Amino acid sequence: MRIGSAAQFGPVARGFVIGGVLAWAFVTLFPFYWTFVTSFKNLRIIVGGPTYFPFIDFQPSVHGWVELFTGVRGNMFKNLANSTIVGVSAAVVATLFGTMAAYALARYRFRVPLLAGLAFAVIAIGGYVALTELGMGRFGAISLAFAVALATSIVLGNLKLPGPLLGNEDIIFWFISQRMFPPIVSAFALFLLYSEFGKAGFKMTDTYLGLTLCYVAFSLPIVVWLMRDFFEALPPEVEEAAIVDDVPVWRIFLQIVLPMVMPGLAATFMITLAFVWNEYLFALFLTNTQWQTLPILVASQISQRGDEWWALSTAALTAIVPMMLVVWLLGRLMRSGLMLGSIK
Amino acid sequence: MTQVTLENVSKSFNETVVISDFNLAIENKEFVVLVGPSGCGKTTTLRMIAGLEQASGGVIRFGERDVTGLRPGKRNCAMVFQNYALYPHMTVAQNITYGMRVRGAPEAEVKEALANAARILDLEPYLDRLPKKLSGGQRQRVAIGRALVRKPDVYLFDEPLSNLDAKLRIEMRVEIRDLHRRLGTTIVYVTHDQVEAMTMADRVVVMNEGRIEQAADPITLYREPANLFVAGFIGAPSMNFLPGAISQGTFTGADGCSFPIPPQRLASGTDCAKAVCGVRPEHILAEASGPAKVKQKVKVVEPLGPHTLQVGMVGDVQFTAQVPAARKVSPDDVVELGLDLDELHFFDAATGKVLPKGS
Ligand SMILES: Nc1ncnc2c1ncn2[C@@H]1O[C@H](COP(=O)(O)OP(=O)(O)OP(=O)(O)O)[C@@H](O)[C@H]1O
Ligand SMILES: [Mg+2]
């Protein structure tokens, strides 16, 4: 809904509003412009002091772009492909599963005994420690302990146990809490875990599967959290109308609920994709040659031969432009007002 | 074509009892209206019939079939929600036929049902529109159309007209009534508007605080209210209540009036120290000639055209009288009003129940 237009302000207020907007636009757009012009400069121009306008106060050269595309400074195409493949797969998988989880959390009431959750932690950690003490390999120990813990907690979860019950809000909090600590904490742990997998014969570091799984795990909480809000904003009667009409749950979800949250879904997918696309820390830990992503390439431009700003700029632009394209494509899906006419 | 039976049905939301010991047998092809003030549990009752809410106790039957634990889709009801609940991304035609297509009905049948519903509901010009391009009344009809093609055993309507303007509401009232006559299907209809209830129903169920106050046909409800709640709820403007006492066949009002009660209005020998005499505004006599008279201090005069409402006080209680339009009264006048002895109702003030009538 439109709340008002700029016309309802007086001329002075309007001047302030427009001035403010222009100032902010400058703040956000100038770095982009600066990166763009810098990518056409060479060392002499850069050390010669600030220049702003190609052809007017400096003669642009395309050597930065030539270097980028010929692969003089790392294989840009490969990293771009890696980022695209990993980013899209992780965003698709995380959005898919996260959305389903969020729907369940928004529409069904869960009651999990706290004891079942505690049992999981105790059996998983205790089992691992005990099994390794008994001389079992780490990989075997962790797999076995984890499987037993999961099975036990599922069984316990369905029993009437004494003690407090965890509800949907607790489950959501548990999801979000995974994003509350700095990522470096889990980056180390994940690296060690993947190394153990590698020793046991499943190569996880520097693989498509390893990197994608890690990103899915880290995107899921955000997806669940965002999507649940979108689902809760829907009037339940629309789904109930379908329930009374004997429509199976999966069709209600796919054909009625998903179309209604399309703007939210597009926004969530976008946020997830942007997170994975820009992610640096995990990519640094978990990849080296095969599955390096764009942020690593951009960062690596700094260290090689001193500060070569044109190289950094071309790499940065390569990382930015695809995201802008995606925003432009998905932007039209994000328009609101899809629910209009459903109720009242 | 089913009759719906609710036996001792109750419903609580986390310890809060919303419906208690609800008993109702709805006949085949009956048009039953649940009416009552906001929050009395009408929607909850309807949702329990549909299966969207699980009854906390009791049994719900469709015919001989016990449906208490059955999931909504298997009950074969069609529900029209208070807020329409259309599928916003589907056109009118898709909205109406979605359920049929999901159930795998053959294309020819779907087409026929759609054409039929569109004709009945006057929706033909709008079939390709999205709900957001429709007016409230059109959306309402789409919601009804979606229910129509279901060919259900029972139709459930939850305040379907509450969002429409007065004129459209009266039109839709007639249309739904007419629809019921043509379809001959059981309908349970919820409203908080007593005029809607009276005009549409075969039988009106007056609810209050999760209980049934009285279930009867509209005329019985109007003429023979079982208690003070129903007496006050049904009829507009509301019935007037004069507190007083009954002894030896005579009512003595707190305001000082006193008159003998005709034997057919009260069983002989009924005495009641705290009684209430109820009289509807339309049962005030044009001439204050009989023995039953009260003095009203007029506060507001509302000319309605055919007649005039005279709102004021009798003793300490509010009292509204319907008088001929020609009568000239102004605020602060004290006028004498005659009560129609054959239309008086007597209640026990302690229990709220109507006192037994004579023959
Ligand atoms: N899901 C729920 N949880 C808790 N209380 C509820 C729930 N649904 C309804 N109630 C309570 O039950 C009572 C009856 O609600 P209901 O919606 O049936 O009223 P209603 O008669 O339909 O009212 P209205 O005319 O305003 O629609 C209300 O007091 C309401 O607060
Ligand atoms: Mg209601």
Inspect the interface and report whether the beta carbons of B132 and A242 lie closer than 8 Å: no
Q: Is the pLDDT of residue B277 over 90?
A: yes
Test the A interface: residue of B84, B158, B162 with most A CBs within 10 Å: B84
Query: Measured between alpha carbons, how far is residue B261 from residues B270, B284, B319 in Å?
Result: 11, 16, 20
pTM: 0.83
Query: How do residues A260-299 score in pLDDT, each as one tens digit?
Result: 999 899 999 999 999 999 999 999 989 988 899 989 888 8
The predicted model gives A135-156 an average pLDDT of: 89
Report the nearest-CA residue for atom 26 of ligand 1: B38
CA A194/CA A205 separation, integer angstroms: 6
Query: How do residues B201-222 score in pLDDT, each as one tens digit?
Result: 999 999 999 999 999 999 999 9
Q: What is the DSSP string of B84-149?
A: ----TTS-HHHHHHHHHHHTT--HHHHHHHHHHHHHHHT-GGGTTS-GGGS-HHHHHHHHHHHHHT
Classify residue B354 by burial, with Cβ atoms within 10 Å: 0-12, 13-18, 19+: buried
pLDDT score at A7: 59
Q: Confidence band (pLDDT; 50, 70, 90) for A305?
A: low
Query: How do residues B143-201 score in pLDDT, each as one tens digit?
Result: 999 998 988 989 999 998 887 788 888 888 888 898 899 888 999 999 988 889 999 99
CA distance A262 to chain B (A): 10
Q: Confidence band (pLDDT; 50, 70, 90) for A332?
A: confident
Rg (CA), chain A: 26
- Cβ contacts of A242 within 8 Å, gap of 6 or more: A251, A252, A256, B87, B98, B99
CA B208 to ligand 2 center in whole angstroms? 13
Find out if CATH 1.20.140.10 is the number for domain A48-110+168-344.
no
pLDDT score at A236: 92
CA B305/CA B209 separation, integer angstroms: 37
Query: Measured between alpha carbons, how far is residue A301 from residues A72, A237, A276 in Å?
Result: 11, 55, 20
Task: Label the pairing between strands B293-303 and B307-314.
Answer: antiparallel
The whole-chain average pLDDT of chain B stands at: 91
Q: What is the DSSP letter of A116?
A: H
Using the Cβ of A342 and the Cβ atoms of chain B, whether some distance falls under 8 Å is answered with yes
Classify residue B13 by burial, with Cβ atoms within 10 Å: 0-12, 13-18, 19+: exposed
CA B282/CA B280 separation, integer angstroms: 5
Q: Confidence band (pLDDT; 50, 70, 90) for B263?
A: confident
Report the nearest-CA residue for atom 30 of ligand 1: B39
Contacts of B95 in chain A (CB under 8 A): none
Using the Cβ of A167 and the Cβ atoms of chain B, whether some distance falls under 8 Å is answered with no
CA A73/CA A2 separation, integer angstroms: 50
CA A306/CA A89 separation, integer angstroms: 35
Q: Is the pLDDT of residue B1 over 50?
A: no
Number of inter-chain CB pairs under 8 A, A vs B: 89
Inspect the interface and report whether the beta carbons of B73 and A247 lie closer than 8 Å: yes
CA A76/CA A69 separation, integer angstroms: 7
Q: Which of A77-81, A152-156, A297-301, B97-101 is the least confident region?
A: A297-301
CA A316 to ligand 1 center in whole angstroms? 57
| Best mean pLDDT range from A18-27, A303-312, B243-252 | A18-27
CA B44/CA B17 separation, integer angstroms: 11
Tokens 């069609």 correspond to B78
Inspect the interface and report whether the beta carbons of B88 and A338 lie closer than 8 Å: yes
Tell me the two tokens of residue A265: 């879904």
CA distance B190 to chain A (A): 16
Query: How do residues B107-158 score in pLDDT, each as one tens digit?
Result: 999 999 999 999 888 899 999 999 999 988 889 889 999 998 988 989 999 9
Please, are residues B160 and B187 in contact by the beta-carbon 8 Å criterion? no
Q: Is the pLDDT of residue A231 over 50?
A: yes
Q: Is the pLDDT of residue A307 over 80?
A: no
Query: How do residues A220-230 score in pLDDT, each as one tens digit?
Result: 999 999 999 99
Taking alpha carbons only, the member of A76, A203, A58, A75 closest to residue A139 is: A203
CA A144 to ligand 2 center in whole angstroms? 53
pLDDT score at A255: 94
CA A254 to ligand 1 center in whole angstroms? 30
Instruction: Give the helix ranges, DSSP H, for chain A.
Output: 11-38, 43-47, 63-70, 76-107, 114-133, 138-157, 168-177, 183-199, 208-232, 236-244, 249-251, 258-260, 262-278, 281-286, 294-303, 309-331
Q: Which residues line ligand 1 (CB under 6 A)?
A: B 13, 16, 18, 36, 38-44, 192
Q: Is the pLDDT of residue A175 over 90?
A: no
Give percent of chain B with pLDDT exceeding 90: 67
Query: How do residues A33-75 score in pLDDT, each as one tens digit?
Result: 999 998 898 888 887 878 888 888 888 888 888 888 887 777 8
pLDDT score at B317: 92
Using the Cβ of A343 and the Cβ atoms of chain B, whether some distance falls under 8 Å is answered with yes
pLDDT score at A344: 63
CA distance B178 to chain A (A): 24
User: Which has more pLDDT, A337 or A151?
Assistant: A151
Give percent of chain A with pLDDT exceeding 70: 94
Q: Confidence band (pLDDT; 50, 70, 90) for A103?
A: very high
Domain boundaries, chain A: 48-110+168-344, 111-166
Inspect the interface and report whether the beta carbons of B102 and A247 lie closer than 8 Å: yes
Give percent of chain B with pLDDT exceeding 70: 99
The predicted model gives B90-99 an average pLDDT of: 95
CA B47 to ligand 2 center in whole angstroms? 10
Test the A interface: residue of B14, B67, B102, B149 with most A CBs within 10 Å: B102
The predicted model gives A249-254 an average pLDDT of: 94
pLDDT score at A1: 43
CA B82 to ligand 1 center in whole angstroms? 13
Contacts of B87 in chain A (CB under 8 A): 238, 241-242, 256, 342
Please, are residues B50 and A241 in contact by the beta-carbon 8 Å criterion? no
Domains annotated for chain B, with CATH where assigned, are 4-229 (3.40.50.300), 238-348 (2.40.50.140)
Q: Which of A146-150, A335-339, B300-304 is the least confident region?
A: A335-339
Contacts of B146 in chain A (CB under 8 A): 241, 245
Please, are residues B37 and B22 in contact by the beta-carbon 8 Å criterion? no
pLDDT score at A338: 65
Task: Please give the residue of chain B at the shortest CA–CA distance from A249.
Answer: B73
Test the A interface: residue of B14, B46, B52, B126 with most A CBs within 10 Å: B52
Going edge to edge, which strands form the sheet with B31-35?
Answer: B77-80, B154-158, B186-191, B31-35, B203-208, B211-216
Is the alpha carbon torsion for A33, A35, A36, A42 positive or negative?
Answer: positive
Inspect the interface and report whether the beta carbons of B77 and A245 lie closer than 8 Å: no
